[in-house]
Amino acid sequence: MLSNIMGRKKTIPFSSCATQMYFSLSFGMIECVLLGVMAYDRYVAICHPLHYTIMMDRSTCIQLAAISWSSSFLSSMVINVLTLSLPYCGPNVLNHYFCEVPSILRLACTDTSFTEMVVFIFSIIIVFIPFLLIVVSYARILLSVLRMQSAAGRRKALSTCASHLTAVALFYGTAIFMYMRPQSKSSRAGGKIIAVFYTVITPMLNPLIYSLRNQDVKGALRRAIAKQRT
C-alpha cells in the first residue's frame, strides 16, 4: 500500500502478488481462529476458574496455537492454488492496494463460480465456525456473569472480555462482509475501504486495545505522564 501511494512504479510481478496474497490470507485466517481460541480461554477463565490451569495448560495452548497456524496456512494454500490456476488473459490492472483473492478473481477470463464457492466454504470453516465459538462462549459467559452476586465480580469479569470483544467487532465485522458475500454483489471501491479496516486499522489498534487493558502497562503510562509533568 505504501509502495503504491509513494512510489512511481505501481506494478508487481505475478510471483510477488501470489506470495503477498498467500501470506495476507494466511495471517488473516490465523487471526480469525486465534480470536475463537481466545474466546474459549475467556470462557474457561470466567465459568470454570478453578479448572483453568488444568484445562488451559501449556500443552493445550501450544496445541491450539499449532492448529490455528497449520489449518490457516493449509487453507490459504488451497485457495491460492485454485485462484492462481485460473487463466488470466488481461487486463492485468488490479483495482486494489494489495493482492487479495476477490480482486484477483475479477481479472480471470473464465467462470470463477467454482473458486468462489471454495473460498466461501473455507470462509465458513475458518471464519464463521470460530465466530460461532465466540458467540457461544460469550453467551455462556453472560449467563455466568448474571448469576454472580457481587457487582464488583460482574464488572471484573466483563472488563477482562472488553479488549477481546473490541478486536472481534473490528476484525470479524469487516472480514465476514468481505469474504462471505457473492462477488457479483461486491463494490470495488467498497471492497478497498473494507479491506483497510482488517489490514490497517485493526492491526494498528490491536496494541492499544490489548495493552491498555493491562494493569502493568497502565501503571507505566501513568508514571511516564507524571514524570513529564514534573
What is the percent of the chain where pLDDT is above 70? 90
Class of the CATH domain delimited by 1-180: mainly alpha
**In contact, 21 and 97? CB cutoff 8 Å:** no
Three cell numbers at 157?
469479569
Contacts of 148 (CB under 8 A, 6+ apart): 154, 157
Answer with the residue of higher pLDDT: 114 or 162: 114
Distance, in Å, from the CA atom of 56 to the CA atom of 62, rounded to the nearest integer, reads 10
Residue 23 above 80 pLDDT?
yes
Distance, in Å, from the CA atom of 200 to the CA atom of 191, rounded to the nearest integer, reads 14
| Digit-coded pLDDT (tens) for 189-209 | 666 777 777 788 888 887 877
What pTM was estimated for this model as a whole?
A: 0.78
Q: How confident is the model at residue 76 (pLDDT cuts 50, 70, 90)?
A: very high
Residue 60 above 90 pLDDT?
yes
Distance, in Å, from the CA atom of 136 to the CA atom of 114, rounded to the nearest integer, reads 31
Contacts of 186 (CB under 8 A, 6+ apart): 102, 178
Return the C-alpha torsion angle 99, 100, 105, 107, nearest 10.
Answer: -30
Residue 39 above 60 pLDDT?
yes
Distance, in Å, from the CA atom of 59 to the CA atom of 55, rounded to the nearest integer, reads 10
Helix (H) or strand (E) holding 79: helix 58-84
pLDDT at residue number 80: 92
Return the domain boundaries, the chain: 1-180, 183-229
Could you identify the residue written with the cell 492496494? Answer: 97
Q: How confident is the model at residue 77 (pLDDT cuts 50, 70, 90)?
A: very high
pLDDT at residue number 125: 86
Distance, in Å, from the CA atom of 55 to the CA atom of 188, rounded to the nearest integer, reads 45
DSSP classification of residue 49: G
Return the top range by mean pLDDT from 4-13, 135-144, 162-171.
135-144
Residue type at 98 in one-letter notation = F
Helix axes 151-179, 202-211, angle to 10 degrees: 170
The mean per-residue pLDDT over the stretch 8-26 comes to 86
Residue 187 above 70 pLDDT?
no
* Residue 213 dihedral angles phi and psi, to the nearest 5°: -90, -5
The mean per-residue pLDDT over the stretch 24-30 comes to 89
Contacts of 4 (CB under 8 A, 6+ apart): 10, 97
pLDDT at residue number 180: 61
pLDDT at residue number 145: 84
Average pLDDT, the chain: 83
